[in-house]
Amino acid sequence: DTEVTQTPKHLVMGMTNKKSLKCEQHMGHRAMYWYKQKAKKPPELMFVYSYEKLSINESVPSRFSPECPNSSLLNLHLHALQPEDSALYLCASSQVILSRNEQYFGPGTRLTVT
Amino acid sequence: AQSVTQPDIHITVSEGASLELRCNYSYGATPYLFWYVQSPGQGLQLLLKYFSGDTLVQGIKGFEAEFKRSQSSFNLRKPSVHWSDAAEYFCAVGGATNKLIFGTGTLLAVQP
């Protein structure tokens, strides 16, 4: 099974709301990633977890808060977002955090901030 | 610093025609190279990867890519394009930073 699942598929939230994005993989991967993708652009790395510990934070604003409760789950908590945060949020996983390891992507959550 | 260039923003080919998507990378050591495909509103799917060894690598959906160190290139090819191949294609390189560096993508349109 090479599937990464993400919920919800679509999310509309106001600037004062708090919401969470969820990601799950059952491939035994120990590295998990959050990316943000704007239309017609490549994915931009936000966070990387390695063995459930935050390994990379690409200077992401604190209104985005990642969490890795266990090796299969990755959450992204959202609070006080801005309209410019509207994007496709992609989760990915790889065996471990090494450049030679391919990343498997989920289908993404389409987020709209109103 | 690592970088990836995809010179073609948009390519249109006829169904059944051959396809080549260009990718050039900049990296001092042997790179780890990937091609991903993204259908509209979907996640990225890995087509193929190159780490070492045979410079011609085969992937899924009939795609192949050739690593040419002398040209710093990793072009993606398909001998006969199907309408379902219409999508965005991203070349990526993995290097010393343990991050994937993506190119800007090439949008492929397929004419009937």
Token pair 């890519």: residue: B65
Residue B51: predicted pLDDT: 87
CA distance A79 to chain B (A): 24
- A33, B43 contact by CB (below 8 A): no
Nearest CA to B89 out of B33, B23, B30, B24 is that of: B23
Strand partners, A93: A32, A104
B34 touches A: beta carbon within 8 Å: yes
Task: Provide the pLDDT for residue A1.
Answer: 60
Looking at the partner chain, which of B32, B99, B104 has a beta carbon nearest the beta carbon of A100?
B32
Cα angle A57-A101-A85, degrees, rounded to a multiple of 5: 35
Chain A residues with CB under 8 Å of B96 CB are 99
pLDDT bracket for residue B111 (50, 70, 90): very high
Question: 3-state secondary structure string, A22-53?
Answer: EEEECCCCCEEEEEEECCCCCCEEEEEEECCE
Q: Say whether residue B5 is in contact with chain A using an 8 A CB cutoff.
A: no
CA distance A100 to B52: 10
The band of A2, judged by pLDDT with boundaries at 50, 70 and 90, is low
pLDDT, one tens digit per residue, over B20-78 is 999 999 987 778 999 999 998 889 999 999 988 889 999 999 999 999 999 999 999 99
pLDDT band, residue B98 (cuts 50/70/90): confident
Test mutation, A27, A32, A41, A100, chain B, max B CBs within 10 A = A100
Interface A-B: count of C-beta contacts within 8 A: 56
How many CA atoms, within 13 angstroms, populate the side-chain half-sphere of residue B56? 3
- Chain A CB contacts of B44 under 8 Å are 43, 90, 92, 105
- The verdict on a CB contact (< 8 Å) between B97 and A104 is no
